[in-house]
Amino acid sequence: SQIKEIEFVKSSNRAKDCPRDERPEFAILGRSNVGKSSLINTLVKRKEVALTSKKPGKTQLINHFLVNKSWYIVDLPGYGFATASESERMDWSAFTKGYFLNRETLVAVLLLIDATIPPKRIDIDCANWLGRNNIPMTIVFTKCDKMKGKGRRPEETLGAFQDFMKENYKQHPPWIMTSSVSGLGRDELLLHMSQLRNY
Residues that bind ligand GDP (CB under 6 A): 32-38, 54, 78, 142-143, 145-146, 179-181
Q: Which is nearer to ligand GDP, 64 or 80 (CB)?
A: 80
- The 10 Å Cβ neighbour count of residue 15 is 18
Output the smallest distance, CB 146 to ligand GDP, in A: 5
Torsion of the alpha carbons at 21, 39, 91 and 115, rounded to the nearest 10: 140
Closer residue to ligand GDP (CB): 83 or 198: 83
What is the side-by-side strand order in the sheet with 62-67?
A: 6-12, 62-67, 71-75, 25-30, 106-114, 137-142, 175-177
User: What single DSSP character describes residue 45?
Assistant: T
Give the H/E segment covering residue 196. helix 186-198
Beta bridge partners of 73: 26, 65
Per DSSP, 6 falls in state E
Q: Closest distance between ligand GDP and the C-beta of residue 126, in Å?
A: 14
CB of 30 to ligand GDP, least distance (A): 6
Say if CB 139 and CB 192 are below 8 A apart: no
Q: How far is the CB of 199 from ligand GDP (least distance, A)?
A: 28
CB of 33 to ligand GDP, least distance (A): 4
Which of 64/146 has CB closer to ligand GDP? 146
Distance CA(140)–CA(178), nearest Å, equals 7
Q: Which residue lies nearer to ligand GDP by CB, 24 or 175? A: 175
Instruction: Compare residues 21 and 65 and give the one whose CB is closer to ligand GDP.
Output: 65
